[in-house]
Amino acid sequence: MTQNCTPFVFPLGPFQVNSVEYDKVSDYIESGAIDVVPGKAKFSRYIPQRDTFITRNSNPPLDESVRSSLVHECTHAISDINKYDVTRLTDEAAAYIAQLTYALLLRPSLPEPPIGLPVDNMMRQSMHLVNKYELGSPAGYGAMIDQRDIADLARAVYAIPDYHNIDPDAKLAANGVALSDEQLEEFYRRQMQRLINQDTSGTDASLKAQYASYEDYVTSDNELLTLFDSYRAKEDRAAEVVARLSDDR
């Protein structure tokens, strides 16, 4: 693990924010169950109805903003994989808390945005929750985030114009991610390899000894980056998938 990969582990309502879940997302992608296609917008998206990531239009190396936004979208995928029964705004609140936790791990001196614009107000509120619950530090492992704080953040998300079209009571369309027999075989192969690597890794063993009560760790930077690498092997299918998504709007 790299120095920037301080573990963060916390439940947020039904959400379990930890490396095991993010590694699952990676394995679903590599098995082919979750598709990844290159996008043209300045932001990335996860479409649960299509089990598809659309990446933002950016070039490597990926900066802190891009890397933390990957965590945001992967949190949406976690919701889909686990069929979490939550509202869309609660799902967004969870994704923003995870995103800001990771952003502050990458850059602890990250300044708060100014008060004013709804998106800046929401980001400030997310950062305050990260600090309030000490997320990303040993003191915050397993911290239970108050449902009132989650609801307040969901309202701050709704205040952003881009989210005004969401009914505050609308449930997330998290119907799970199906695996074919071939995909299931590859998924379990990768899961077993992770277990083997954990058993044979001196670094992981020392971490387990240090954090015996919390055996989930944030995935390594390299693993986060590979979440979006698979689209390079799927470029021939990208246009077809993007066209289907456009038809659904």
Q: What is the per-residue pLDDT for 51?
A: 95
Q: What is the per-residue pLDDT for 204?
A: 47
Q: What is the per-residue pLDDT for 216?
A: 35
Q: For 15-52, how does the pLDDT look when each residue is reduced to its tens digit (9 = 90+)? A: 777 888 888 999 999 999 999 988 888 788 999 999 99
> Residue 107: which of 245, 231, 188, 3 has the closest Cα?
3
Tokens representing residue 100 in the block? 């800001």
Assess whether pLDDT exceeds 80 at residue 186. Answer: yes
Q: Phi/psi of residue 46, each to 5°?
A: -120, 130
Q: For 107-144, how does the pLDDT look when each residue is reduced to its tens digit (9 = 90+)? A: 999 999 999 999 999 999 999 999 999 987 878 877 88
More confident call, 18 vs 145: 145
Under a CB-based contact definition with an 8 Å cutoff, are residues 231 and 37 in contact?
Answer: yes
Question: What average pLDDT score do residues 75-96 get?
Answer: 94
Q: Name the pTM for this structure.
A: 0.78
Assess whether pLDDT exceeds 50 at residue 246. Answer: no
Is the sign of the CA dihedral 99, 104, 110, 113 positive or negative?
Answer: positive
All structural domains of the chain with their residue ranges:
10-248
Tokens representing residue 92 in the block? 């967004």
Confidence of residue 10 (pLDDT cuts 50, 70, 90): low
Q: What is the per-residue pLDDT for 75?
A: 93
